[in-house]
Structure 1
């Protein structure tokens, strides 16, 4: 069943049940009040008639005709009266009964002694339905039946029933129409969202729901906005993956092309032993470049895998010591000096994260600083205790990072202006950020620093650890 039809059925059904639960008790209550008012009037008039009846009638003679005062009746209402003797049999009746008065009290359903204040009864006279009261009269055990037509009550309740039925039908119909309109509007919004979702599933990442304000309900507006945002993020991810694949292919092609060229050259002409040895060294260099790039790509994939923050603990001194050990060869080749705080080996603070991952992230920052430092320059590692953790900062004496390049420095394969002249694939900072975030930390460029670049690793204190 369609959403629109389900909504119409549900809302209309609830309305019908609510109206029925309201109107049925209301109808029964008003009918009961009408009958109660009629009974009270009959009891009063029957009591007044019973007080002077013994001197005004004779057994076997018809009772006097008369009229009764019926509530909410403008016209005089004929009354029906009858006298029953001590043996409960009919002794006399008014001519209004036309000879059809009940022959005994038993015919009225009364088989026990009457209470002193009487009892109300229903009876039928041909097609006329009567409401009456039977009460004791005189001192010989007689009983008086005093009745009138129930047409006033029946007419009032019939009118009430027709009015309530009309309201019921109109309310149910109006509810169904409104529910259908709402269902169509909601279904239209849902169909719009579903259509865009199908287009995206087919590969059209340019599809959008459009202005969410055109949606009817707040929920569908929020859904449309969230879907458009999700598609935009998905488009960014797909575009990023495409750029990543393109850059990776480009980086892989250079050492592969070099390796292929050396192999072709080696096969094209004969060489002496030294010549072949030199060619093999070139090939080995290309293979090493390929292995390094593959390892960096694997580290980047692991770092960006969204792994939860680890609960491991690491000493800051161990992180710095291991990072310096891994970066030593690169530092010696460039002739760059690395300075660290003199008391780093005695630094007692522990931070959250795996020591190997954090050391790798710090090593990448040091390598990046060494690459951009002038020969014989200095790279400074700073350790600062701040609120909630420790900051490890790597400061170089290079040219700094241009403002236009700063938002992109953590993008895989990004090298920036002049980056093509430096070795590496441009993955170091991306890997460092991924490893840091997976450990619950942050990596950022200090934009206020001048005279080079200052990269800051913010690492949270390990649980139950406070700075010394």
Structure 2
């Protein structure tokens, strides 16, 4: 069962307002019912019936005479009267519907029903006079209650659009904050009004603009720095050929270090470009034989590929980089055999998966492994740049897809990339030479 705090904010505010209104209404009804309002009219009714008593013939008078006296009061006041003997015998004309004899006789007059429609007065000679007023007195309490409830419902209905409009602005601000937290630095809030919510939206937009400037400046600085490193790296690589022979350990180590540094710079540049682009536009992609790229990368790494023929709208260079990173990650940190699959997963997506039989990924680190420069602790294999899996995630999101990691029951780890596709043909197997 949902708690009140689990509901959207506009519903919480609306329920709080309407709840307060109904509490006030029901309290008013309870106080009104609790107050004995009829007692305030007892003296007036006692005086009225006392006047009638003085005009009535004595109890010793014949019944028709007493009946005529009551009839005259009925005609004068247009009110229903009934006169009873002390034993309960009707002395006046029988009315339709009849007025019953009171069950309990009390002195000094009283109302014998909850709605205060019948007033009972005991005469000095013990005769009983019952005065019945119009039936609408019985409906007045319910009419009053209905009017109060109708008023509460009307106020609640009028409050709904006001609360919804106010909370809609807060919801828009919340959505913009969440969007900013997910990395959309261009997220802004439309400013309407001149109240506290509007001033909060202005503060948010100013903070978001400042944050966007700082992050973009950092990205541009990183991209420019990485680009400028390419020329010194090329000169170091050329100098290493002259300074250290290929066969010497120092030359091999120097060239390996330069190659790793060059790869790191390349991946940093690619990451910077992807982060700046956010998500690919239709015009920036081209129809590409994804299966051919997968076959080339698997043949290059000497791993098996089971694939369907898939032609999709992608960036071929980025797709190649993504596939190469996943395959090299499996070869570095996993164990053979390494299996690569490419197939259709749904009506509008295809999957590229790389599985190995290595130690697997701890569940607690399954999300962090896609962070730049994060490495799983105590994981065997040579160290990489720390950007391989982060780049895989960036490429998949750039294409409007996603990547997930799982640990199969058979052991090892599987990385699966889901991407949109254009069309497919028949399935076939490609096995690279070892």
Q: Per the shorter chain, which TM-score range? A: 0.3 to 0.5
TM-score normalised by L of structure 1: 0.39
Task: Give the greater-gyration-radius structure (CA).
Answer: 1
TM-score normalised by L of structure 2: 0.41
